[in-house]
């Protein structure tokens, strides 16, 4: 079971509230917790505050798997994305994730490239493998191939497994089914012929 | 493999582009091609054909006509015959043709891309996404210039018939770079494609037919080097545009020396790729992939010399090796291939040989584990580290997927290493600090500097080299000007051949009374008056044969000293334009002060009237160039990238000037002042007729705050000094104004370092007409454009 906690999507409620949210989710049986960061820490370059916040989330998660949502559509610059990625990983993120889906821009390839290269650099320096989750806007099988190629080229095949790479894209599965249908029959399929996942 | 298995292995599968249409096109032609002359296909006169191969397999693709001397002659005649009508078309009509060609390239883009990949071996990803779109872009851009030609260049006209010779690395793109500007400016063309890659040029000939281009405007003559030689030597050709090796460029310079053919050469390179410690290393590595593994490294502007800041060298090298390991090498028609085939066996052998020699000279060779296809010509991506600057792989162009890596410690050392080459085509600078990047960009001697990007090209941005990478630019306004000349110039009358200097005939009778004080004119070198090395003098006589005095007889050692002084004075280029203007104005001021005495002396040689005109117009001419000094601006281009390209007008460097003899003062000022205005340093040989003008000139310069060495004056006989000047490898350009024989020898002797040569083509120039004898035309020749590309975005 997965849960989104920490004042999703804005991450603006008091820290104690957000930590308590995580605890409740974990107590309720969640194995995966998506947390959102306080974007203001990034804009103000309050890296220690950002680190402390994420470390507190991690502590509350306990054994649960923590995905840190950076809200890249809010962060706007690639520099901000890179720095926030590193702080999140240092503070214990199991996954870093682009977006909540509620920001003005969802996962983009440039932003994903920056995050993936941060993961690579972090792995090279620490030996710790952090996963990546692009979220929002990836609706077609064809688009998903861009991200698969990105992971394969930048991080290698081991990052193509589900433990290290996920899509946050609710509409994607249907299109993948359409493509498999086409592969099997040679005819192009229609969306409505596949059950909503 | 089942889908489920594929999801586990996650390997790339084959993604072949279908060659069926290209194959059908070849079959339609019976896999045998004639020459495209005068709008129709013709068999070669000698009936000879050669084979063009698919380098990815070695299989024969087609037989192609071997054009010979009679074929070239027929093509040149057709082009000549088509010229008047083509030139007489309205610019709008020519724009329509070019626009149609651009559209046709787009309409047939995949056929052209597939043909290109089959014939050349480059990955389809490149031919489809880079080459062919740029071809269309060039025709669109130049359709625009064709439309604007009369408004923008009212005083220019086309050269006439242009012979164009293109290389095999970007066959259709180089065709576009050549043909589009030539047609836009009203020239007609005979183009010889490279022997290894003729097919897309032949497909283009069909597009010309489809566009309804008048017969003879574009002629395509395939063949080998002898075909190119026939084109270069044909007397009916007005201009040669060549892209290829420096060796052949040198031969073309020599072969055209005795003609009036204009020349633009785009030659080899050994371009530095500089990575500073504050660069985004991951991006820099991707840049490097595009720099040296693009088109298997068979790129004249390939970033083949990696200069890494020492502190990051180890980390960077490791990243480069990782990246090299994931490059995919294989059949170029596969859409997911990074490195395709080398164009031909001979090129593959050359690459192997040079790498072996580099290793023998101490380089460490690293190649990723990559399986080479069993057929075809392939070479793996290669990193040579511990390369010494003296090694062959650091100095000579390999033209293959081979990177030679070296380290540096400071920006100064990076620049020094970057410029330690006979070439100067392109360069890359990677740093997240824009101050460092632009500081270094300004100092690199190369026609292109890509800051934090690599191998970007656009029709709006001139491309071309410094030093032995050639001269002239392709693309942009400067590229267009290579195909035009001022209207008056071609029709200017020929200068009479110079006769030997007359010996004394009239002995001057001593005047009564106190004798005049003897005046000793000297050479002017490094801001000091210098006696000639020879210890001899030359007589200078008046119109009536009377002995006016003696000028020092300069020799090769004086030229040597002058060039060294000029090199040392390169700070003049770094002076602000405002400062250069002030010095020039001061020269004019001081010439004004000496007006009467100079007129008096000059009048003995050229008469009172001309002497007065020379001084008065000379003052105005200096004023003109003082005015220009801070106004001959570059440009900022907006190529279709998230990017700006800053086109800087840079001085050429150290320039030797053979001044015209007919206007001793005004001719000197007309040539030396534009050079000075934009920051060149000069070694001038003043009028042989009246070299004593040197004495007046250096007094002028000495009193006008001109830094020593910016102008050096060596008097003497042109016949003796020209050779040393033209052959001197530390002179970047020579301006030679003289009779036909003199300018021909200037061209012929300039081949050593391929210095730029600009002459009057033996024609008369009316120095007394400011409309003709000053302005942009001179400044354009006094400068070379450097494009600095700077990306933006965050």
For the stretch B309-330, pLDDT in tens is 999 999 999 999 999 999 999 9
Strand stretches in B434-570, DSSP E: 448-451, 470-471, 484-486, 523-525, 528-530, 537-541, 547-552
B652, B783 Cβ separation under 8 angstroms: yes
Q: CB pairs under 8 A, 24+ apart, for A188-195?
A: none
- B128-153: average pLDDT: 98
- Residue B499 confidence class, pLDDT cut points 50, 70, 90: low
Same domain, B544 and B683: yes
Considering only CB atoms, which chain B residues are within 8 Å of A180? 3
Same domain, B526 and B673: yes
Q: CB pairs under 8 A, 24+ apart, for B594-603?
A: B594/B696, B594/B699, B594/B700, B595/B619, B598/B665, B598/B696, B601/B548, B601/B692, B601/B696, B602/B664, B602/B665, B602/B690, B602/B693
Domain end residue (candidates: B398, B419, B448): B448
In a domain, B455, yes or no: no
pTM summary value: 0.96
- Residue B486 scores a pLDDT above 70: yes
Same domain, B260 and B284: no
Among A6-10, A62-66, B721-725, B727-731, the least confident range: A6-10
Same domain, B312 and B217: no
* Residues of B designated catalytic: 266, 300
Considering only CB atoms, which chain B residues are within 8 Å of A148? 10
- Residue B511 confidence class, pLDDT cut points 50, 70, 90: low
pLDDT, one tens digit per residue, over B705-759 is 999 999 999 999 999 999 999 999 999 999 999 999 999 999 999 999 999 999 9
pLDDT, greater one: B417 or B498: B417
Mean pLDDT estimate for chain B: 96
- B347-373: average pLDDT: 97
In a domain, B506, yes or no: no
pLDDT, one tens digit per residue, over B248-276 is 999 999 999 999 999 999 999 999 999 99
Q: What 3-state DSSP class applies to B225?
A: helix
- Residue B503 scores a pLDDT above 50: no
Same domain, B552 and B697: yes
- Residue A133 a catalytic site member: yes
Q: Please name which of B303, B354, B381, B460 lies closest in space to residue B123, comparing C-alpha atoms.
A: B381
Among A6-15, B135-144, B172-181, the least confident range: A6-15
CB-closest option in B10, B282, B794 to A79 = B794
The C-alpha angle A76, A80, A83, rounded to 5 degrees, equals 155
d(CA B300, CA B271): 8
| Topology of the domain covering A2-171 | TIM Barrel (3.20.20)
Going by the DSSP 8-state scheme, the letter that residue B506 receives in this structure is S
In a domain, B244, yes or no: yes
- Residue B301 scores a pLDDT above 50: yes
Q: Please name which of B297, B159, B288, B301 lies closest in space to residue B236, comparing C-alpha atoms.
A: B159
d(CA B747, CA A27): 88
Is the alpha carbon torsion for B151, B157, B162, B167 positive or negative? negative
Domain end residue (candidates: B205, B239, B266): B266
State residue A13's pLDDT score: 86
Same domain, B260 and B276: no
Q: Which residues partner with B59 through β-bridges?
A: B54
State residue B497's pLDDT score: 85
Give the Cβ contact number of residue B491 at 10 Å. 9
Going by the DSSP 8-state scheme, the letter that residue B469 receives in this structure is G
Same domain, B246 and B276: no
The strand pair at A32-36 and A2-4 is best described as parallel
d(CA B422, CA B442): 18
- Residue B247 scores a pLDDT above 90: yes
State residue A65's pLDDT score: 96
Identify the H or E element spanning B383.
strand B382-385
Most B CBs within 10 A among A72, A82, A112, A160, hence the mutation to make, goes to A160
Residue with tokens 């498999």: A180
pLDDT, one tens digit per residue, over B654-665 is 999 999 999 999
CB contact under 8 A, A152 and B3: no
Please count the structural domains in chain B: 3
State residue A197's pLDDT score: 64
Domain end residue (candidates: B237, B266, B295): B266
Same domain, B399 and B436: yes
CB contact under 8 A, A117 and B794: no
Same domain, B277 and B367: yes
In a domain, B119, yes or no: yes
Same domain, B250 and B280: no
pLDDT, one tens digit per residue, over B178-204 is 999 999 999 999 999 999 999 999 999
How far apart are the CA of B326 and the nearest CA of chain A, in angstroms? 7
pLDDT, one tens digit per residue, over B104-127 is 999 999 999 999 999 999 999 999
How far apart are the CA of B321 and the nearest CA of chain A, in angstroms? 13
Same domain, B582 and B674: yes
B785, B473 Cβ separation under 8 angstroms: yes
Please measure the distance between the N-terminal and C-terminal CA atoms of chain A and give it in whole angstroms.
16
Considering only CB atoms, which chain A residues are within 8 Å of B3? 180, 183
d(CA B464, CA B268): 10
Look up the CATH number of the domain holding residue B346: 3.40.309.10
In a domain, B126, yes or no: yes
Identify the H or E element spanning B406.
strand B402-408
Considering only CB atoms, which chain B residues are within 8 Å of A79? 794
Most B CBs within 10 A among A72, A152, A159, hence the mutation to make, goes to A152
State residue B498's pLDDT score: 73
Same domain, B349 and B248: no
- B305-310: average pLDDT: 98
The C-alpha angle B571, B577, B582, rounded to 5 degrees, equals 95
In A, minimum Cα distance to B9 occurs at A157
Percent of chain B with pLDDT over 70: 98
Q: Within an 8 Å CB–CB cutoff, is residue A176 touching chain B?
A: no
- Residue B422 scores a pLDDT above 90: yes
- Residue B150 scores a pLDDT above 70: yes
- Residue B502 confidence class, pLDDT cut points 50, 70, 90: very low
**CA A188 to chain CA centroid, nearest Å:** 31
Percent of chain B with pLDDT over 90: 94
- Residue B243 scores a pLDDT above 60: yes
How far apart are the CA of A77 and the nearest CA of chain B, in angstroms? 5
In a domain, B453, yes or no: no
CB contact under 8 A, A180 and B3: yes
| Structure tokens given for A153 | 């080229």
State residue B592's pLDDT score: 98
Torsion of Cα atoms, B141 then B147 then B148 then B151, to 10°: 170
CB contact under 8 A, B282 and A160: no
Q: Please name which of B206, B230, B229 lies closest in space to residue B218, comparing C-alpha atoms.
A: B206
Segments forming the whole domain that contains residue B781: 521-637+652-787
Q: Where are the domains of chain A?
A: 2-171
- Residue A124 scores a pLDDT above 90: yes
How much is the CA Rg of chain B, to the nearest whole Å? 28
d(CA B187, CA B159): 6
Look up the CATH number of the domain holding residue B199: 3.40.605.10
- B233-246: average pLDDT: 97
């Amino acid at each position: 079971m997965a849960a989104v906690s920490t004042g999703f999507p804005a991450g603006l409620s008091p820290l104690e509230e957000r930590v308590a949210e995580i605890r409740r989710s974990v107590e309720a049986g969640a194995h995966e917790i998506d947390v959102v960061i306080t974007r203001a820490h990034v804009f103000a370059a309050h890296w220690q505050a950002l680190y402390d916040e994420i470390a507190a989330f991690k502590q509350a998660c306990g054994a649960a798997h923590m995905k840190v949502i950076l809200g890249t559509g809010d962060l706007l610059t690639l520099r901000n994305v890179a720095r926030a990625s590193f702080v999140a990983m240092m503070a214990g993120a199991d996954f870093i994730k682009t977006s909540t889906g509620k920001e003005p821009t969802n996962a983009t390839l440039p932003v994903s490239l920056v995050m993936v290269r941060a993961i690579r650099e972090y792995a090279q320096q620490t030996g710790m493998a952090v996963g990546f989750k692009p979220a929002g806007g990836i609706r077609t099988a064809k688009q998903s191939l861009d991200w698969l190629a990105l992971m394969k080229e930048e991080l290698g095949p081991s990052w193509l497994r589900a433990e290290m790479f996920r899509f946050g894209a609710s509409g994607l599965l249907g299109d993948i089914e359409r493509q498999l249908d086409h592969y099997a029959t040679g005819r192009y399929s229609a969306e409505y012929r596949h059950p909503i996942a | 493999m089942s889908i489920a298995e594929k999801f586990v292995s996650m390997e790339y599968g084959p993604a072949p582009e279908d060659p069926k249409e290209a194959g059908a096109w070849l079959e339609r032609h019976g896999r045998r091609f004639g020459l495209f002359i005068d709008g129709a296909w013709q068999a070669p006169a000698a009936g000879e054909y050669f084979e063009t191969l698919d380098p990815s397999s070695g299989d024969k693709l087609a037989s192609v006509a071997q054009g010979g001397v009679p074929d070239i002659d027929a093509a040149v005649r057709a082009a000549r015959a088509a010229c008047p009508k083509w030139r007489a078309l309205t610019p709008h009509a020519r724009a329509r043709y070019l626009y149609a060609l651009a559209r046709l390239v787009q309409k047939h883009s995949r056929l052209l891309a597939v043909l290109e990949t089959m014939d050349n071996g480059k990955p389809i990803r490149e031919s489809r996404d880079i080459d062919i779109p740029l071809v269309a872009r060039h025709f669109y851009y130049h359709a625009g210039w064709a439309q604007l030609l009369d408004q923008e260049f009212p005083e220019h006209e086309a050269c006439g018939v242009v012979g164009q010779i293109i290389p095999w690395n970007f066959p259709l793109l180089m065709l576009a770079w050549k043909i589009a500007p030539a047609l836009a400016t009203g020239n007609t063309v005979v183009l010889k494609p490279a022997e290894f890659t003729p097919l897309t040029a032949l497909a283009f000939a069909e597009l010309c037919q489809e566009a309804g281009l008048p017969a003879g405007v574009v002629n395509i003559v395939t063949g080998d080097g002898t075909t190119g030689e026939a084109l270069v030597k044909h007397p009916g050709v007005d201009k040669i545009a060549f892209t290829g090796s420096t060796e052949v460029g040198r031969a073309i310079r020599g072969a055209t020396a005795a003609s009036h053919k204009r020349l633009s050469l785009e030659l080899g390179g050994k371009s530095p790729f500089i990575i500073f410690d504050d660069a985004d290393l991951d991006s820099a590595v991707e840049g490097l992939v595009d720099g040296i593994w693009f088109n298997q490294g068979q790129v004249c502007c390939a970033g083949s010399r990696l200069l890494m800041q020492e502190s990051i060298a180890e980390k960077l090298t490791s990243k480069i090796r990782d990246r090299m390991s994931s490059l995919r090498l294989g059949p170029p028609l596969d859409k997911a291939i990074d490195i395709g085939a080398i164009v031909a066996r001979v090129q593959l052998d050359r690459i192997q040989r040079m790498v072996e020699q580099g290793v023998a000279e101490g380089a460490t060779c690293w190649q990723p584990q990559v399986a080479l296809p069993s057929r075809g010509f392939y070479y793996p991506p290669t990193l040579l580290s511990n390369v010494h600057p003296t090694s062959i792989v650091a100095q000579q162009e390999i033209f293959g997927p081979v990177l030679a890596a070296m380290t540096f410690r400071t920006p100064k050392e990076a620049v020094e290493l970057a410029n330690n080459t006979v070439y100067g085509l392109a360069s890359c600078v990677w740093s997240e600090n824009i101050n460092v990047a632009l500081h270094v960009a300004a100092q690199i001697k190369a026609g292109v500097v890509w800051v934090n990007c690599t191998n970007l090209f656009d029709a709006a941005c001139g491309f071309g080299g410094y030093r032995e990478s050639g001269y002239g630019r392709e693309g942009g306004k400067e590229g267009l000007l290579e195909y035009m000349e001022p209207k008056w110039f071609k029709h200017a009358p020929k200068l009479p051949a110079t006769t030997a200097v007359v010996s004394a005939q009239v002995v001057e009778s001593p005047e009564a009374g106190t004798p005049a004080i003897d005046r000793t004119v000297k050479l002017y070198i490094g801001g000091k008056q210098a006696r000639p090395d020879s210890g001899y003098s030359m007589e200078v006589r008046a119109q009536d044969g009377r002995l006016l005095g003696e000028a020092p007889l300069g020799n090769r050692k004086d030229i040597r000293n002058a060039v060294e002084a000029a090199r040392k004075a390169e700070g003049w280029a770094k002076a602000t334009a405002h400062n250069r203007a002030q010095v020039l104005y001061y020269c004019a001021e001081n010439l004004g002060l000496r007006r009467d005495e100079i007129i008096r002396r000059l009048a003995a040689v050229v008469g009172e009237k001309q002497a007065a005109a020379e001084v008065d117009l000379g003052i105005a001419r200096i004023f003109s160039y003082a005015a220009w000094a801070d106004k001959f601006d570059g440009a900022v281009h907006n190529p279709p990238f998230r990017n700006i390209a800053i086109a800087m007008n840079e001085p050429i460097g150290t320039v030797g000037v053979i001044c015209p003899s007919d206007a001793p003062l005004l001719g000197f000022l007309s040539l030396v002042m534009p050079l000075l205005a934009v920051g060149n340093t000069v070694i001038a040989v003043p009028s042989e007729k009246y070299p004593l003008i040197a004495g007046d000139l250096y007094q002028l310069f000495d009193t006008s705050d001109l830094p020593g060495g910016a102008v050096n004056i060596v008097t003497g006989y042109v016949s003796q000094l020209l050779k040393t000047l033209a052959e001197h490898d530390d002179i970047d350009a020579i301006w030679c104004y003289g009779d036909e024989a003199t300018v021909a020898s200037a061209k012929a002797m300039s081949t050593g370092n391929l210095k730029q040569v600009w002459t009057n083509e033996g024609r008369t120039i009316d120095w007394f007409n400011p409309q003709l004898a000053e302005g942009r035309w001179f400044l354009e020749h006094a400068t070379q454009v450097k494009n600095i590309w700077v990306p933006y975005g965050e």
